Amino acid sequence: MNETFVGMPAFPEAAREALENGTLRGNLRHATHTIRAKRAAAVAEVSDWAELREAGSRIKEHTLRHLDRYLEQLEESVTAAGGTVHWAADAAEANRIVTRLVHETGESEVVKVKSMATQEIGLNEALEAAGIRAYETDLAELIVQLGEDRPSHILVPAIHRNRAEIRDIFRTAMADWGRPAPEGLSDSPAELAEAARLHLREKFLRAKVGVSGANFMVAETGTMVVVESEGNGRMCLTLPETLISVVGIEKIVPTWRDLEVFLQTLPRSSTAERMNPYTSTWTGTTDGDGPSAFHLVLLDNGRTDTLADEVGRQALRCIRCSACLNVCPVYERAGGHAYGSVYPGPIGAILSPQLRGTASEIDASLPYASSLCGACYEVCPVAIDIPEVLVRLRERVVEGGPAVREGNRVVLKPAKGHAAERAAMRAARWTFTRPGALRAGQRLASRARRLRPRTLPGPGAAWTATRDLPELPAEPFRDWWERTRGGKEETK
């Protein structure tokens, strides 16, 4: 678990501040609407998109069911190609491995490719504590790092910032991290990009150690794949003498042929491009070409526990395209920070509580950070049924029950604060299984409809704080049906 997010309040409290920030909401609305419109157009160009989506889902599901076999094959392939494989059970072990590997080079700084896995484990903070400075080289990640901020989107981590805010960050913070921003820097996108290019160039040319993640790992050859749009990744992957890649164990695909599917669906679903401008692949080490030492750190950190849940394991299919964030009405209004995780939006609402458990206040609330509208499922390029997993996790939060944590089968206790919900659901179950009681209750409610309060008391107050209590009909549906004989007048 990333220590950055420990102690965060529940999602409703965390989101309230974002909802009151008009600038933030405007930035999010403009960005998400633009991205999703472009994505829709890019996907519409592909006549067999539904078949590609189904193929991606089946490949991922097959791989997860045989994950042990493919991981062993990957280790053999990477080792045969000259790389070294390390296994990390959790974030702490992964951080220790990377820190040790950097120290063994004698270096005190690294350049980084954008990586969700390293954010998940808090690698930058761990390296800093060990006297090693990590430089983010992705433009959006650079903005976040210079602004001492946190990512708020999977694809565009600085989506919550506008151009004027980015200009101010560059002006005030660049000098503390290296080459300062040019004098008179404006908020022109071209000038901001040039300032970042000049700032990063010296780091690329100086760094001896690179750190990356990977979008995919090909088991049959031991090949790592990184897709990106700026070229910074290519610089980090080729110029340093040592390359360390931290990758979640679910990022594996069996063959190169399988990779073909995702190289079609990922760019269209994420950046709305027909193909990624930069697709970098590397297999171990090659004399005179690229890093002379390659280390692959395979990260579990709750993934095996997630794999044990037949419903929840769908989350491990995710290829981090972020399409679900861009169509989610909750994310659009609350932003990414409220999710208390490097994985915001709908996918974060099902992935984080499984990787970290539901013991904390923020993780227990994430399955409720959704309207269950289903838009996320419709755009997912690997057909993750996010609403289904959300309902499953809500049941776990309210009722507790069997689960796997740290490889052990345990029985979770119900989360605090849901006693009224459990009582209401049990009462509903009792009522709906007894038609006579249901009919009596409906008739009583209809006759007392004029006494209907505007808001509900107790736990129900949170629901009616943002909704109107529905009007009650003058008579129950069943009574109306019998009176009208199915809505048809009697014929003579």
Long-range pairs, 165-172, Cβ under 8 A, ≥24: 166/192, 167/192, 169/143, 170/146, 170/195, 170/196
Q: pLDDT band at residue 424, thresholds of 50, 70 and 90?
A: confident
242-248, strands of its sheet edge to edge: 84-88, 293-299, 242-248, 209-212, 109-112, 133-136
> Rounded distance, CA 200 to CA 102, Å?
20
Q: Does pLDDT of 201 surpass 50?
A: yes
Q: pLDDT band at residue 468, thresholds of 50, 70 and 90?
A: confident
Q: pLDDT band at residue 53, thresholds of 50, 70 and 90?
A: very high
CB 138 within 8 A of CB 232: yes
Share of the chain above pLDDT 70, in %: 97
Q: How many CB atoms lie within 10 A of CB 435?
A: 10
Q: How many CB atoms lie within 10 A of CB 126?
A: 20
Give the residues across from 355 on adjacent strands. Answer: none
> Rounded distance, CA 180 to CA 196, Å?
10
> Rounded distance, CA 246 to CA 117, Å?
7
> Rounded distance, CA 132 to CA 148, Å?
17
> Rounded distance, CA 362 to CA 352, Å?
10
Quickly list H helices, 112-216.
116-121, 123-129, 139-146, 163-177, 189-206
Backbone angles phi, psi at 208, to 5 degrees: -105, -10
Q: Does pLDDT of 252 surpass 70?
A: yes
pLDDT at 492: 46
User: Six-digit token pair at 127?
Assistant: 């390296």
**What mean pLDDT comes out for the span 33-56?**
96
> Rounded distance, CA 331 to CA 24, Å?
12
Residue with tokens 């088991």: 219
pLDDT at 466: 76
Bridge pairing between strands 216-218 and 223-228: antiparallel
pLDDT tens track for 377-420 = 999 999 999 999 999 999 999 888 888 888 889 988 888 777 77
Q: What is the mean pLDDT of the chain?
A: 92
User: Six-digit token pair at 185?
Assistant: 């820097």
Of 158, 114, 118, nearest in space to 136 by CA = 114
Q: pLDDT band at residue 485, thresholds of 50, 70 and 90?
A: confident
CB 173 within 8 A of CB 71: no
User: Six-digit token pair at 326?
Assistant: 């861009």
